[in-house]
């Protein structure tokens, strides 16, 4: 238990032998730390258990999955991954992953660019009708998604975009996600304007100021936006379900459902195995972006 | 380097608030002009209009022989130092310094040469590879200064650059900036400077000339000595000088000599009449604490007051006395101070007549300046 740094290291008496009081204090600190950490470990384990079980069960045989609630597989097998990857369709999961990326990548890039531009406009410039436009932008945040589904569907049908990825990522290129715009605006508002003014005095035009000064300072916010957009898009089920009808174009989220529908006796281990794979990109991206997510580079340039 | 001219420059905001009321100001080539005034007097707004960071809603700003009203800041030939440094947080010091030159697509070797030169002048060579967050306040301000210097602009603009520094550093930076200004002048490339501050010590010590502002109007533009000795109005008189000038309501009568009455005490001000305009009646009597002499009570031509407070400042003592309803401050050198005096004692305060000022109670204008002024 001495490894815990929050246990006070009471100095021992001059001859090196701890006094009775010191022993008592040390014992009490250790007991309280032990209780605290045990509680945290137990609760943490309960929270993470479903995920552990998911990973464990993906290595189990179909019979074992329902035989034991414990996550550790008795006879680990890769069969779930092999079968799941093949799928019951003519395509492998690789196709579905590529499809997902064809939606996610343009959507994330589009979101980053368009939301930054729109947020910069709202946060830094005065133009006629700004207040009204901003109010409308915020109002769309309050609009439930389902309300716009049907009009949007009709619109995209008129454009001939059904069964393409365009309806899924085109709105993101037009700053369609008011939440992200709002997030960046809030971040920008906290950044003093002097740096941008200094850049203008240094001879930068509006666009150069945005690229050389604002975007680098905004990096943590933009990374967060990309991260959220990546995860939400990877996990989006309803969007592709409405607009994508050809199996060949299915993204991962739809493909997972496909493997449940297609066979009568579900191969649960292959479904679970593919679920684990479907989770992986989001997790990898999250851990990669974590540093920049947390690092606040906006501090330091201006005395606060 | 070029001169700078403001001709009836106005600033009215979208909500109709008029911040700057048609000011005229000329800053000569290589001149160090300080804009000073209390907060809200529009000195920063004026500076930002010169910089092009605020639109000019009336009048014109001229740098050299060019009207710059509609030019973007980058094309005005100015450089600016901000109060909070405004260094680019993601760039190292070198890149912070050279950002303007890189935007202008100057050749690389020229950029390197200028960076080395400027960092040498400001002694920031050791900081070139650091990020702004790794700099102390004084270092950051030096880098900000370097970023202005490297561009060799027509006009330097300073917006309260020292207010974020502690008192000691502020004093040394003050000297550094004035030294730099003199050095550039000696090297034959004089720098025109407009320096905004609310600190009158900065204004008095740094400026070739000082422009005192209040509520979007210029109260007086003059060199420090004139400003101190011949303030154009009661506002300037009260703003410049430490401690503040005593401004006391009084009644002026013109007999053989000018006489003023404060709280039923009448004193004669020998020699003042000659420089007075034809005014009589209520005025504001102004005398600096340094120009009051402590005498025994009831001495001739001295105001009698009761001591309310004594502040020991080291080399001098600030004596606060109540004369009628007014509080009057008098500064006495410590070695000349009568240590038997204490709170509640009566004391005579004799103004040095050659240094008193009389101000119109309505307009605040100084009515005791020599006629030729």
Q: Is A128 on the interface with B (CB under 8 A)?
A: no
Label residue A257 exposed, middle or buried (CB < 10 Å: 0-12, 13-18, 19+): middle
What is the set of domains in chain A, with CATH numbers?
20-82 (no CATH), 85-294 (1.10.3720.10)
At A5 the pLDDT is: 53
What are the residues of chain B with a beta carbon less than 8 Å away from any beta carbon of chain A?
14, 51-53, 72-75, 78-80, 82-90, 99-100, 103-104, 131-134, 137, 140, 147, 151, 164
CA neighbor of B88 nearest in space, from B98, B73, B79, B75: B98
At A134 the pLDDT is: 93
Placement of tokens 């007549």 in the chain? B353
- Using CA atoms, how far apart are residues B234 and B361, in angstroms rounded to an integer? 9
pLDDT tens per residue, range B48-71 = 999 999 999 999 999 998 999 999
pLDDT, average across residues B180-191: 89
ipTM: 0.86
Q: Indicate the pairing of strand B192-197 with strand B155-159.
A: parallel
- Using CA atoms, how far apart are residues A195 and A197, in angstroms rounded to an integer? 5
Please give the mean pLDDT across all residues of chain B.
91
At B110 the pLDDT is: 94
Under CATH, which number does the domain B237-360 receive?
2.40.50.140
Label residue A303 exposed, middle or buried (CB < 10 Å: 0-12, 13-18, 19+): middle
Structure tokens at A28: 């009490």
At B271 the pLDDT is: 83
Phi, psi of A172 (to 5 degrees): -65, -30
Q: Is A202 on the interface with B (CB under 8 A)?
A: yes
Q: H or E segment at B328?
A: strand B326-333
Helix axes A93-124, A268-294, angle to 10 degrees: 30
A180 pLDDT more than 60: yes
B225 pLDDT more than 80: yes
Which residues in A lie closer than 8 A to residue B68 (C-beta atoms)?
Answer: none
Structure tokens at A180: 């992200």
- Using CA atoms, how far apart are residues A294 and B97, in angstroms rounded to an integer? 28
Confidence of residue A297 (pLDDT cuts 50, 70, 90): very low
| Interchain pair B78, A298: CB under 8 A | no
3 state DSSP class of B299: coil
| Interchain pair B103, A301: CB under 8 A | no
Q: How close A178 gets to chain B, by Cα (Å)?
A: 28
Confidence of residue A11 (pLDDT cuts 50, 70, 90): low
Q: Indicate the pairing of strand B326-333 with strand B316-323.
A: antiparallel
% pLDDT > 90, chain B? 71
CA neighbor of A251 nearest in space, from A220, A228, A230, A272: A230
pLDDT tens per residue, range B227-270 = 999 999 999 999 998 899 999 999 998 888 888 999 888 999 88
DSSP 8-state secondary structure symbol assigned to residue A69 = S
Output the CA–CA distances (angstroms, integers) from residue B155 to B50, B69, B245, in the order listed.
10, 15, 34
Q: Where are the domains of chain B?
A: 4-229, 237-360
Phi, psi of B369 (to 5 degrees): -80, 145
Q: How close A289 gets to chain B, by Cα (Å)?
A: 18
| Interchain pair B82, A194: CB under 8 A | yes
Output the CA–CA distances (angstroms, integers) from residue B122 to B33, B130, B147, B169, B327, in the order listed.
22, 15, 11, 14, 46
Q: Is A301 on the interface with B (CB under 8 A)?
A: yes
Under CATH, which number does the domain B4-229 receive?
3.40.50.300
- Using CA atoms, how far apart are residues B235 and B112, in angstroms rounded to an integer? 49
pLDDT tens per residue, range A210-251 = 999 999 988 888 988 898 899 899 989 999 999 999 989 999
The number of CA neighbours under 13 Å toward the Cβ of A159 is: 15
3 state DSSP class of A156: helix
At A15 the pLDDT is: 63
pLDDT tens per residue, range A84-133 = 888 778 888 899 999 999 999 999 999 999 999 999 999 999 899 999 99
């Amino acid at each position: 238990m001495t490894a815990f740094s929050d246990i006070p290291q009471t100095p021992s008496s001059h001859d090196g032998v701890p006094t009775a009081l010191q022993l008592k204090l040390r014992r009490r600190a250790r007991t309280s730390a032990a209780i605290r950490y045990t509680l945290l470990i137990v609760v943490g384990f309960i929270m993470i258990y479903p995920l552990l079980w998911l990973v464990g069960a993906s290595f189990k045989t179909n019979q074992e999955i329902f035989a034991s609630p414990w996550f550790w597989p008795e006879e680990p097998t890769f069969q779930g991954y092999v079968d799941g990857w093949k799928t019951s369709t003519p395509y492998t999961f690789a196709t579905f992953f590529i499809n997902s990326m064809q939606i996610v990548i343009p959507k994330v890039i589009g979101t980053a660019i368009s939301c930054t531009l729109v947020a910069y406009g709202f946060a830094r410039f005065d133009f006629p009708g700004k207040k009204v436009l901003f109010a409308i932008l915020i109002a769309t945040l309050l609009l439930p998604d389902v309300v716009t589904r049907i009009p949007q569907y009709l619109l995209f049908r008129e454009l001939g975009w059904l069964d393409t990825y365009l309806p899924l990522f085109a709105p993101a290129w037009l700053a369609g996600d008011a939440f992200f715009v709002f997030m960046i605006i809030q971040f920008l508002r906290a950044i003093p304007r002097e740096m941008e003014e200094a850049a203008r005095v240094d001879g930068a035009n509006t666009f150069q100021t945005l690229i050389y000064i604002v975007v680098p300072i905004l990096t943590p916010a933009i990374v967060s936006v990309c991260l959220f957009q990546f995860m939400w898009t990877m996990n989006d089920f309803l969007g592709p379900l409405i607009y994508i009808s050809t199996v060949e174009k299915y993204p991962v989220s739809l493909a997972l459902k496909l493997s449940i529908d297609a066979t009568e006796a579900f191969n649960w281990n292959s479904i679970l195995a593919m679920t684990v794979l479907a989770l992986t990109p989001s997790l990898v991206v999250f851990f990669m972006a974590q540093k920049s997510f947390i690092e606040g580079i906006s501090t330091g340039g201006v005395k606060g | 380097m070029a001169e700078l001219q403001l001709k009836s420059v106005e600033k009215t905001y979208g909500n109709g608030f008029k911040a700057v009321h048609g000011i005229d100001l000329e800053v000569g080539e290589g001149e160090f002009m300080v804009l000073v005034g209390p907060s809200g007097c529009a000195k920063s707004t004026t500076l930002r209009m010169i910089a092009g960071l605020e639109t000019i809603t009336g009048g014109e700003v001229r740098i050299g022989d060019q009207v710059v009203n509609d030019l973007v800041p980058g094309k005005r030939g100015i450089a600016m130092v901000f109060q909070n440094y405004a260094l680019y947080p993601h760039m190292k010091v070198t890149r912070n310094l050279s950002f303007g030159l890189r935007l202008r697509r100057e050749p690389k070797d020229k950029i390197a040469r200028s960076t080395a030169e400027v960092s040498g002048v400001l002694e920031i060579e050791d900081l070139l590879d650091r990020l702004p967050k790794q700099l102390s306040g004084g270092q950051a301000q030096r880098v900000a200064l370097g970023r202005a210097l490297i561009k060799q602009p027509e006009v330097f603009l300073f917006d309260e650059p020292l207010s974020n520094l502690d008192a000691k550093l502020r004093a040394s930076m003050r000297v550094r900036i004035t030294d730099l200004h003199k050095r550039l002048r000696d090297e034959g490339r004089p720098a025109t400077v407009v320096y905004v501050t609310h600190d009158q010590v900065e204004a008095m010590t740094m400026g070739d000339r000082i422009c005192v502002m209040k509520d979007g109007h210029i109260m007086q533009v003059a060199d420090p000595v004139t400003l101190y000795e011949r303030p154009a109005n009661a506002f300037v008189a009260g703003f410049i000088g430490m401690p503040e000038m005593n401004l006391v309501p009084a009644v002026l009568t013109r007999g053989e000599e000018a006489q003023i009455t404060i709280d039923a005490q009448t004193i004669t001000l020998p020699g003042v009449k000659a420089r007075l305009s034809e005014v009589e009646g209520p005025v504001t009597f102004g005398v600096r604490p340094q120009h009051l002499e402590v005498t025994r009570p009831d001495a001739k031509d001295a105001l009698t007051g009761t001591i309310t407070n004594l502040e020991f400042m080291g080399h001098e003592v600030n004596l606060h006395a109540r004369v009628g309803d007014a509080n009057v401050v008098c500064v006495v050198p410590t070695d000349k101070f009568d240590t038997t005096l204490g709170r509640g004692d009566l004391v005579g305060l004799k103004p040095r007549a050659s240094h008193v000022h009389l101000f119109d109670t309505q307009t605040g204008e100084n009515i005791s300046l020599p006629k030729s002024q």
